[in-house]
A and B are shown apart, each in its own frame.
Chain A
Amino acid sequence: MMKNKKWLGFMFLAIFTLVLSGCNFSSSNKKEDEPKKEDNGKEGGEKVDQVLNLSEPSDIPTLDSTKAHDAIAFNVLNNVNEGLYRQNQDNDSVLALAEKHEMSDDEMVHTFTLKDTKWSNGDPVTAADFEYAWKRVMKDNGAYNYMIVTAGVKNAEAIMNGEMDAEELGIKATGDKTLEVTLESPNPLFKTLLAFATFLPQNQKFVEKLGDQYALEADNILANGPFKLVNWTQEQGWEMVKNEDYWDAENVKLEKVNVFVVKDPSSGINLYETGKIDRVKLTSALVDQYKEKEDFKNVKAAGTVFLRFNHNNPALKNVNLRKAVNMAIDREGLTDVILKDGSSPIYGVVAESFYFSPDKVDYRELNGDFNKGTPAEAKEYWEKALAEIGQKEVKVSLNIADTDEMKKVAEFLQAQLEDNLPGFKLEIKAVPFKQRLEIEKAIKYDLSLSTWGPDYRDPMTYLDMWVKGSSANRMDYYNPKLDALVTEARGETDLSKRYKLLLNIEKIFLEDDVAVAPLYQRGSSVLLNNKVKGLVDHPTGADTSYQWAYIEE
């Protein structure tokens, strides 16, 4: 008996030690920073540590730029790596690793001359690194390979469809530092797209040495951007330090950026309150409590939420009915009373404040609001529609993803539509996100509450999805006039002419056809430590750039 007990105790101890040792607490050097920071705070006059502490809601899936597909990875890649172009403080695509960008007269052949820069292992960054990475995206069917197709690189579409070999992609290193990219046709979007992570270079030797372990750990990725990734612990966070070898290192003020994985929003607030992180996103429940504080900010995002109509539905086919639905919804009430999360009403498909004409005027300002109306106007159209379709009432269902946000919106829509359109019955069908998408793709819904995130900084990312056969159309919408305009705009290199075309596409889509009901543009409410300056958020591509940020003394 005694022997047994001892044995049991020993077992417990052994298991406990084993478990403890398997816990890999995040590195101890993080702790060292804290007392230092406090000291400096007290002395006041001394230089503050240039350390920025941030959080992300989940871990990085992979940092392999050819496979990356999520906001968190794009963010890290943007700050650790650099491609030919990068987004500047105004979200414009500017020359980065490329020193010079020349075009042939027909704008089909682009020649880039690279700056003299190094990977963090000392190898020079060469034109061949770009050729290797881009071909790798195509070869491995990377998640964002269609970006290379959108960029119009020669043969990209055929390669994506499996009709051609990846080696035939229109990119060629013509020298150590010169890169030649051939396009299918002139593409006004090319420059904008090049700032995207899929177009980053990769060091072939390094990638091939690591095989499938590439970019899964801090040691398994090379930096050539403003920062280097030095630590990355699964599900806990990662750490970046300034890259002294970066060509623009003298303008990078931060010494270190810590990013912690914080999944629970209210824990995020508690960490912010205790000074552990410098910025936190608020959930709408917390907005009222914090909105008077001076560190509170609303940040506009470029994602949009809208209602898709099934254009095959006998009732929803009717344009007046779609107009009635559009006008019956009080979008201000939705964003200001229901959501309260930094979202703003929108009456178009292209988001506000990020897309400007060659004369620097906002796209939304130029095109104005579509189908904005009062409940009374809505009722007029509704009665007209009922007469046209010969029905007294319309019963439809609404396909939504079962997130809190979408449920709130759906309930609001239900109340608004049933109140303002007598005889309109809306049934909400909440399913998991992926299923919502499947139902949408199969066009087995009446109404669907959809979201769209732009891929690049141009109105086209919201517009060309509506052409016939596009995988993002998902409502059997077809207007040959719109298709023709999209094709025309894709090849138009005169930027003002092109912009007019882009404006007209939205007009056809919403003014003539009332094809969807735009609802709101997403946003977020954040608390940002007042000492943090120069942190730049981008509407598309990577969320944030750290390289111009600093901690005020």
Chain B
Amino acid sequence: MIVTLFIIITLTFFLMQFLPGTPFTNPEKLSDKQLVILNAKYGLDQPAAIQYVRYIGNLLQGDLGYSFQYEGRTVKSMIVDRVGPSALIGLQALIFGTLVGLVLGIISALKHNTILDYGSVTLAVLGMSIPSFVFAALLQYYIGVKLEWLPVALWESYDSTLLPSFALSVTVIATVARFIRSEMLEVLGQDYVITARSKGLRESVVVTRHVIRNALIPVVTMLGPLAVSIMTGTLVIEKIFGVPGLGEQFTLSILVLDYSVIMGITLFYSTLFIVIVFIVDLLYGFLDPRIEYKEGGQV
């Protein structure tokens, strides 16, 4: 885990050196002399290797450095301040999306090739193919402006979180529904399901205990990365609804060459990703008794 992180940091750091330009915020007006003075002040005049060693040194002490675009603000405080809103709408979207997706997927698998199945498959395909920002804009206009049920945008109360969460959940619903449907169809044909049925178990027991549980395994695999991408903020949805989240910051920091923020967020995302993948691995054992962790096995 540490090794993976280390490789990510190193790669990002040196790739960043290839970006042309300066991280300073008013490049249009900076004179060459000023640029030299500023570069010296921030140690950017040093060779990349020395900057790298210095960065790693600071990192080991938990210091992510200062942002260039928000002068005086630490990268740490920028991440901490912004991650909450992103995580909240992400989490809500994930929970809501997974539940609805599960229900849709299960229904369409059980009522295979009926009108219900086609209905939810159509819904899922639509959800996958309509970009979430189109959906977000529609939600904002109809529910926010026309009906005035929920706030149009901004981040003022819990109500403000509902529209962005809902807009985000569409992708989750679609992904989960499609996955669970195909998995269940596969599991329904397995020998152990036939065995369970022939034992005389009630259909509801067969479905909950044998089918769903087994069908969930691949879904969990997929949910891990999905959770990371959704909880770390999505550029467009956050922008549309004015969510003060992390989503835009990452893209923006690359555009304006805010070196320390690029590094900080990359590090944060990768850590989160690794941790979630780890948790997913653990969940396998919980869902599928065939998978066991043995002492000394690889983690």
| Contacting pair B140 A146 (CB below 8 A) | no
CA distance A144 to B286 in the complex (A): 60
B-contact 0/1 string along A5-20, CB 8 Å cutoff: 0000000100110011
CA distance A451 to B29 in the complex (A): 11
Chain B residue with Cβ nearest A60: B70
Which residues of B sit under 8 angstroms from A141, Cβ to Cβ?
34, 37-38, 41
Q: A64-B72, A67-B72 are in contact. Are A434 and B155 (CB under 8 A)?
A: no
User: Count of B residues near A, CB < 8 Å?
Assistant: 57
Q: A274-B152, A434-B257 are in contact. Are A267 and B240 (CB under 8 A)?
A: yes
| Contacting pair B242 A264 (CB below 8 A) | yes
CA distance A433 to B22 in the complex (A): 11
Which residues of A sit under 8 angstroms from B91, Cβ to Cβ?
15-16, 19
| Contacting pair A64 B153 (CB below 8 A) | no
User: Count of A residues near B, CB < 8 Å?
Assistant: 63
Chain A residue with Cβ nearest B242: A262
| Contacting pair A162 B82 (CB below 8 A) | no
Which residues of B sit under 8 angstroms from A16, Cβ to Cβ?
91
Which residues of A sit under 8 angstroms from B141, Cβ to Cβ?
270
| Contacting pair B145 A146 (CB below 8 A) | no
Q: A160-B33, A262-B153 are in contact. Are A435 and B21 (CB under 8 A)?
A: yes
A427 within 8 A of B: no
CA distance A11 to B72 in the complex (A): 36
Q: A146-B34, A274-B145, A438-B20 are in contact. Are A266 and B137 (CB under 8 A)?
A: yes
| Contacting pair A160 B34 (CB below 8 A) | yes
Which of A23-31, A88-96, A126-134 sits within the interface?
Answer: A23-31
B166 within 8 A of A: no
Which among A24, A30, A62, A143 is the interface contact of B26 at CB below 8 angstroms?
A: A143
Which residues of A sit under 8 angstroms from B298, Cβ to Cβ?
none
| Contacting pair B72 A271 (CB below 8 A) | no
Task: Please give the distance in Å from A30's CB to the nearest CB on chain B.
Answer: 6
Q: A270-B144, A271-B153 are in contact. Are A62 and B72 (CB under 8 A)?
A: yes
Which of B121-129, B156-164, B178-186, B187-195 sits within the interface?
Answer: B156-164
B-contact 0/1 string along A321-360, CB 8 Å cutoff: 0000000000000000000000000000000000000000
- 24 residue pairs of the A-B complex, CB under 8 angstroms, read A19-B84, A19-B88, A22-B87, A23-B85, A23-B88, A23-B161, A24-B84, A25-B156, A25-B160, A26-B156, A61-B25, A143-B24, A146-B31, A216-B73, A233-B244, A263-B248, A267-B153, A274-B144, A274-B145, A274-B152, A276-B152, A276-B154, A437-B27, A455-B29
Residues of A within 8 A of B (CB): 4, 12, 15-16, 19-20, 22-26, 28, 30-31, 59, 61-62, 64, 67, 69-70, 141, 143-146, 160-162, 212-216, 233-237, 260-264, 266-267, 270-271, 273-274, 276, 432-435, 437-438, 451-453, 455, 471-472
